[in-house]
Structure 1
Amino acid sequence: MGAKAKKAMKKKLSKATSLISNQTESADFLPLEGGPGRKLPAQKPLESTATVLYIARIPHGFFEKEMEGFFGQFGKVKRLRIARNKKTGKSKHFGYIEFDSPEVAKIVADSMHNYLLYEHILKVHLIAPEHVHPKLWKGFNYRHIPLNWSELERKRHNKERTLGEHRKLVERILKRNQARQKRIRAARIDYECPEIVGSVQPTPKKIKFDED
């Protein structure tokens, strides 16, 4: 083999090795039967379709109206609910919020998670659509109206009582008064408790009817 033939063979070998190296670098895998490498088609990441957020550690005073105004700056709030005690109506400091678009929900989850609000660190997480309870939004439009306990107690105290109820009330008052006098005597205090007005009721007068 002459010098020219050797040079030509070296050129062919160098070209072949360069092609193989380029194919192996860009290819994801090489077929078993040989041949050029193949590159897998690029896969787009799955887009989140979650629009419901779980919010925990909600501070006191940050209720439905305040939450709707605060989170409304990110986008339109579709539904909102704060978990409350059924008996007292007090907040349980966690709730759920739903936005119209999943993009807004993701932005809220990323920006508001571990956000310091009124000395409370919020915990915000996306809820997948398949994990949303079917009864989650049942009665979400209901707004708790706090009871005026002083007004209720005043009405209960001032209500009209029957004769039997009044007698029981007087008996309880007299019983408490006797216990108070007993404690005063046990402490050797010279004090005479005044008589409770209305505790002794006069006996009803007998009415005599003229006989015909």
Structure 2
Amino acid sequence: MANIIDEDDDRLIDAEDSSSDDEQQQEEEAEQSLSLPSVPGSGKRKIKKSEMKRNKLITIQPGLIRLSGLPYGFFERELYSYFSQFGPVTRLKLIRSKKTGGTRGYAYIEFEDEDVARIAAETMNGYLMFRSLIKSRVMDRTKVDTEKLFKNWKRLFTVKTPQQKRALHNRVKSNEQIEKSNQRRTTKLLKQQQRLAAAGIKYELTDFIPLKAMKKEDEKNVSSSEKKNEQVANKSTKKKIVKT
């Protein structure tokens, strides 16, 4: 399914680590680490003794940038080699497609120093590379779950075979997993229902599962409330008859 990606959206677009199913499958597979090339000058930042004496305490905050419009062939190794010229790169994540494993054209890079990340973002914003215009910006780390974003960032992404997909789909699920999947489906269907209502389209999605179960529960709640109201009304009428 094609997704429209907004370049100004700060939400995490989780391609590989979004579902627990993928995590279980990755744990079962053999771990393959990504061996990044050694770049001269990409080690840790060295602080001079004179600078330490002058400032007494130096705190270096990491910086995170988001790149979009990356050309084909600009993969993890190339990103690490290219952006290491600005400063030490601690982590990077190139977003790939689940089905094909191909790059989706955007990535996240974390630098050791926030100032270096800002310089790299300003330098690469609007940079033309192989007929592709790259856009980059510094992201607010307080609004991004970096541990989730860079989880297993050294592991090479592998496309699942049809046999692995069938085994993953047909596996026995627990009640908790079924409830979570139903909740995800209900939230998606409710959002679609709101969009249809906002567009003026009268079409109910309550016949689909699991919204059908929710509809039955609502009907039960309405019937129970109606019965309670009838009982209260009958009691009041009986009291009036006894008083007369």
Q: TM-score, normalised by structure 2?
A: 0.39
Which structure shows the bigger proportion of residues in helix conformation?
Answer: 2
| Rg larger for | 1
Q: Which has the higher contact order (CA 8 A, sep 6+)?
A: 2
Name the TM-score, length of structure 1 as normaliser: 0.44
